[in-house]
Structure 1
């Protein structure tokens, strides 16, 4: 398995893995996959990765800016999704490790994530990569008519944004 930079040709597979996350009910508040243009505009172009084995995309990770304000230029939100058939194989660990390295290479000093508390595997993955739980946002939004809490996590770089 290799982790490499995302290309536009990867989008159908990325979109399908995202659909699986939506269908799980514990990955996102979104209820439909985003079309290419919307996804492309939302994600930071230099910080998009896919995990691939035997020409199949098994997972993806990317960063999105949290704000257009210059003061937040070094803060990004993590998205990481693993295909249902590939979970539990260490793919998330490899994607996250390279995403952290890539973020620092692009002068991003803080990574944040908002994760449903039921998604314990994702919380654990983030903690293994230096994310800390900041708190729980109670009843942040409704998904299919049910109020959902979100665990807010953050990782502060020790390499960039330290001065």
Structure 2
């Protein structure tokens, strides 16, 4: 498995993996995959990674800014998605570790994630990668007419913004 920067040519595979996540009902509130243009606008221009084996994209990870205000310029929201075909192969944790490294190289000091409690695999990899649960949002939003809770995880860099 190779972790490398995502390119626009990866979008069809990334979009398919994102759709698989949507279909689980516990990965995102989104109901459809956005266009590449919309996805591209919503994510930072750096810190976009794919896990690849041969010609197959196994998963992807990317950051989204949490705010347009400059004071939050070093804070980003994490997205990590793994193809169902590759669940249980440590793809998610390898992507998240690589995303942490990339984020610190780019000057991010805080990464955060909102995770549905039933997404046990995502909770596990975040904890393995040094995130800590800092909150619980009860009934934060509806998905298919059902209220969903959200666990809030955070990872503070010990290298960036530590002083």
TMscore range, shorter length = over 0.9
What is the alpha-carbon distance in structure 2 between the residues aligned to residue 14 and residue 54 of structure 1?
Answer: 15
1:151 is aligned to: 151
1:34 aligns to what SS in structure 2? coil
- How far did 1:135 drift? 1.6
Q: Which runs of 4+ in 1 moved over 4 A?
A: none
Partner of 2:5: 5
Query: What residue in structure 1 maps to residue 161 of structure 2?
Result: 161
Match of residue 117 from structure 1: 117
Distance 1:81 1:157 in 2: 22
Matched residue, 1:21: 21
Structure 1 residue runs without a partner (length 5+):
none
Deviation at residue 107 of structure 1 after TM alignment: 0.5
CA shift, 1:93, in A, is 1.3
Gaps of 5+ in 2: none
SS at match of 1:71: helix
Instruction: State the aligned residue count.
Output: 163
1: CA distance, partners of 2:135 / 2:100: 22
Could you say which residue in structure 2 is the equivalent of 1:86? 86
Q: Distance in 1 between matches of 2:131 and 2:82?
A: 19
Q: How does 1:1-80 map to 2 (within 5 A)?
A: 1-80=1-80
How far did 1:54 drift? 1.2
Q: TM-score w.r.t. structure 2 length?
A: 0.99
Q: Residue 103 of structure 2 corresponds to which residue in structure 1?
A: 103
> Which sits farther off after the overlay, 106-115 or 37-46?
37-46
Query: For residues 93 and 45 of structure 1, what CA distance do their matches in structure 2 show?
Result: 22
Residue 58 of structure 1 and its aligned partner are, at CA, apart by: 0.5
| In 2: Cα distance, 1:133 partner to 1:97 partner | 17
Partner Cα distance (1:160, 1:54) in 2: 34
What is the SS of the residue equivalent to 2:45? coil
TM-score scaled by length of structure 1: 0.99
Equivalent position SS for 2:32: coil
